[in-house]
């Protein structure tokens, strides 16, 4: 791993919501890089970005030469990852990819820093970042699984619009402004449909029980990601997982309400002891309610509403929330890069 010392780092998709967050986190954590390159589509090429390492001109990904890159942080979408990540890896870089392109590839480790760090050692040039919702959930489920063996999990997500990128944030802002012109119609009915087709239904002042496109068996792609990625990260395919993914009118912060049962009974005292000592997490007691606003801009996952299950005794219910642009994406990618340095 010595070759990563003072690494030459590239951010691919550097001008997007996650890419810009990756850059800010590299700066915040004083990542020991010797050279920084920023790559994006031709639309952004030529833009100059001021960084802690000087002014950097954004390069066109299509024509960029990856031969002098040690670590490439990818957040440019699945299709670009499929096309360019192997190219970077074959040139000698270790790619940390934030898309869904390689998550289910058996040859690519799927890693949540502070949960299954050891998996990164088996990489063959590409490491996958989990979905942002799975990431938040695994920070709470992982330590409990290590302690008692996760057997069954019901999980309902409450996903912010920034999960759809800057377009989602713009859409929510636009719709709130639109509905504010006639708030009474939101109470009495008769409201008019706002412009925009990003989501199946309006998101302003609303909740959509459909996050992501529909896939097999009436479940969405987001829901299937929660199933498959949890199995892979925890290393246990037989975990029974029942997911529901919901989009909510929140700027940043993905929350998950979950109930979990294990190979043996887990009581509240044990859950408090396990989660209270878990890294990257703040365990909030009953007097504090973790919300998306609390999670925005911070690295830790917030866990609260911790309680023993009552319908089917022996399990644990909780609510976890995290900034989906940070731990849910950019922070985890940088933490994985730091694991390469270790």
Structure tokens at 316: 């644990």
Catalytic, 228? Answer no
- What is the dihedral angle through the alpha carbons of 198, 253, 266, 243, rounded to the nearest 10 degrees? 0
Question: What b/e readout covers 44-76, taking b as 16+ CB neighbours within 10 angstroms?
Answer: bbeeebeeeeeebebbebeebebeebbbbbbbb
Cα angle 173, 176, 182 (rounded to 5 degrees) comes to 155
- Known catalytic membership, residue 245: no
CA atoms within 13 A on the CB side of 40: 19
**Looking at 145, 228, 245, 254, which residue is catalytic?**
254
Element at 148 (helix H, strand E):
helix 132-148
Taking a C-beta distance cutoff of 8 angstroms, is the pair 237, 231 a contact?
Answer: yes
**Non-local CB neighbours of 250 within 8 Å, separated by 6+ positions:** 158, 160, 161, 292
Report the SS3 class of residue 337.
Answer: helix
The token duo for 308 is: 């023993």
Q: What is the DSSP letter of 131?
A: P
200 φ, ψ (degrees, to nearest 5): -65, -30
Inter-residue contact 105 to 200 (CB < 8 Å): no
d(CA 95, CA 235): 22
Which residue is catalytic, options 132, 145, 228, 245?
A: 132
CB 94 within 8 A of CB 340: yes
Chain centre distance of CA 329: 4
> Catalytic positions, please?
132, 254
């Amino acid at each position: 791993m010595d070759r990563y010392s003072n690494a030459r780092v590239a951010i691919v998709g550097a001008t997007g919501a996650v890419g810009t967050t990756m850059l800010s986190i590299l700066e915040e954590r004083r990542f020991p890089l010797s050279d920084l390159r920023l790559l994006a589509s031709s639309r952004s090429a030529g833009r100059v970005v001021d960084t802690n390492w000087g002014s950097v001109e954004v390069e066109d990904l299509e024509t960029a030469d990856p031969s002098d890159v040690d670590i490439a942080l990818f957040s440019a979408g699945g299709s670009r990852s499929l096309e360019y990540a192997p190219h970077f890896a074959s040139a000698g870089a270790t790619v940390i990819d934030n898309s869904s392109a390689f998550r289910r590839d058996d040859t690519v480790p799927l890693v949540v820093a502070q949960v299954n760090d050891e998996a990164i050692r088996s990489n063959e040039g590409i490491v996958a970042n989990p979905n942002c919702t799975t990431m938040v959930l695994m920070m709470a489920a992982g330590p409990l699984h290590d302690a008692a063996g996760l057997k069954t999990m019901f999980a309902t997500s409450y996903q912010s619009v920034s999960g759809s990128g800057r377009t989602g944030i713009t859409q929510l802002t636009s719709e709130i402004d639109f509905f504010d012109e006639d708030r009474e119609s939101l109470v009495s009915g008769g409201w008019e449909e706002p412009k925009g087709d990003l989501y199946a239904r309006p998101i302003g002042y609303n909740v959509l029980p459909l996050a992501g496109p529909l896939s097999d068996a009436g479940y969405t792609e987001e829901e299937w990601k929660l199933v498959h990625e949890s199995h892979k990260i925890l290393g246990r395919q037989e975990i029974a997982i029942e997911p529901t993914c919901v989009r909510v009118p929140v700027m940043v912060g993905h929350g998950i309400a979950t109930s979990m049962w294990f190979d043996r009974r887990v009581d509240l005292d044990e859950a408090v002891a396990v989660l209270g000592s878990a890294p990257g997490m703040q365990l909030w007691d009953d007097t504090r309610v973790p919300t998306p606003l609390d999670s925005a801009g911070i690295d830790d996952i917030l866990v609260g509403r911790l309680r023993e299950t009552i319908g089917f005794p022996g399990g644990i219910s909780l609510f976890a929330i995290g900034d989906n642009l940070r731990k849910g994406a950019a922070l985890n990618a940088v933490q994985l890069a730091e694991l390469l340095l270790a």
